[in-house]
Amino acid sequence: MSRNDVILGVAAAVLVAFSLVVSIVIPRRDPGFPGRSIGVFAAVAVALVLVVLVSVELAGEEGGSGGGGGGESVATETNGGGEGDAAAGEAVFTANCGSCHTLEEAGTTGNIGPNLDESTLPLDAVITQVENGGGGMPPFGGQLPEEDIRNVAAFVVASQG
């Protein structure tokens, strides 16, 4: 269970507990609830829902199985559609990226570029970085076919973090 799963679980549990308490427990003790404090009640309810939504948006994006390989496909809607094949991307990564990047799933230990085991980049950011380079990384847009770029991006996203 990842840290993100715990955050999402806690946020959801707090919202559920609040909902149960204000719908079952409090009305039995105070039939006029929420009465004059309807504004405070509504503000707390809305705040809790927003906390859950923000948790899902921030932590939920990075969730998922965290594994890799096994032919997983990751959608690549931002750059021409289609899907990248993570299994095929592993070979592209090993041949082109592993000398600079550490990624346990690929068995690489490069230390020139960022350690991708510690990364949580979204797919479109990985595609953009591979195509255009930057931050010391050379661009691969003119060197690798678009399919290889999609595949390696899918592999990195499926394997990172």
* 93 and 33 fall within a common domain: no
Rounded to the nearest 5 degrees, what angle is found at the Cα of 28, between the Cα atoms of 50 and 20? 30
Of the candidates 33, 30, 160, the one whose C-alpha atom is nearest the C-alpha of residue 97 is 160
pLDDT at 82: 55
Distance CA 14, CA 8 (A): 10
Q: Is residue 47 part of a domain?
A: yes
Of the candidates 104, 68, 71, 74, the one whose C-alpha atom is nearest the C-alpha of residue 88 is 71
Are the C-beta atoms of residues 153 and 96 closer than 8 Å to each other? no
- Domain extent at residue 143: 73-159
* 119 and 77 fall within a common domain: yes
Give phi and psi for 44, each to the nearest 5.
-65, -45
Q: Is residue 90 part of a domain?
A: yes
pLDDT at 1: 66
Distance CA 72, CA 16 (A): 34
Q: Is residue 138 part of a domain?
A: yes
* 21 and 99 fall within a common domain: no
* 14 and 49 fall within a common domain: yes
Q: Is residue 65 part of a domain?
A: no
* 79 and 54 fall within a common domain: no
Confidence of residue 161 (pLDDT cuts 50, 70, 90): confident
Task: Indicate which CATH number applies to the domain containing 87.
Answer: 1.10.760.10
* 112 and 53 fall within a common domain: no
Tell me the per-residue pLDDT of 4-26, one tens digit each, with 9 for 90 and over.
Answer: 788 888 888 999 999 999 999 99
User: Which token pair is 56?
Assistant: 């899902």
* 32 and 103 fall within a common domain: no
Distance CA 140, CA 161 (A): 23
Domain stops at, among 60, 87, 102 = 60
Distance CA 72, CA 69 (A): 6
DSSP code at position 137: B
Number of domains the chain contains? 2
Lowest mean pLDDT: which of 23-37, 69-83, 93-107, 142-156? 69-83
Distance CA 95, CA 111 (A): 16
* 42 and 93 fall within a common domain: no
73-75 and 83-85 as β-strands: parallel, antiparallel, unpaired? antiparallel
Residue 62 has pLDDT above 50, yes or no: no
* 56 and 79 fall within a common domain: no
Q: Is residue 66 part of a domain?
A: no
